[in-house]
């Protein structure tokens, strides 16, 4: 009967102990880096630059959110 249990466990992706270990490993995972730093109010000169600091910030923030989704 032990062989049957092992076969069932293998089909389900492992034993309960394996799943608990995987959850513990997730908890120990390295946290993501902080999101990009938001520009200060005085960082933008307001002259309509092609690559405004706000454009760069929002591009970096979008990449960050794609790489490290929340939820």
pLDDT band with cut points at 50, 70 and 90 for residue 70: confident
pLDDT in tens, 18-67: 777 766 666 678 889 999 999 998 999 999 999 999 999 999 999 999 99
**In the chain, domain spans:** 1-30, 34-71
Output the pLDDT for position 30.
84
Rounded average pLDDT over 65-70? 92
Closest CA to 60 of 48, 51, 47: 51
Q: For the full predicted model, state whether its pTM sits above 0.85.
A: no
pLDDT at 10 over 70: no
Intra-chain end-to-end CA distance of the chain, in Å: 41
């Amino acid at each position: 009967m032990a062989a049957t249990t092992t076969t069932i466990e293998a089909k389900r992706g492992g034993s309960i102990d394996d799943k608990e270990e995987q959850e513990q490993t997730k908890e120990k995972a390295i946290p993501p880096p902080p999101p990009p730093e938001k520009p200060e109010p005085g960082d933008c000169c307001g002259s309509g630059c092609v690559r405004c600091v706000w454009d760069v910030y929002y591009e970096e923030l979008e990449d960050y959110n794609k790489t490290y989704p929340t939820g």
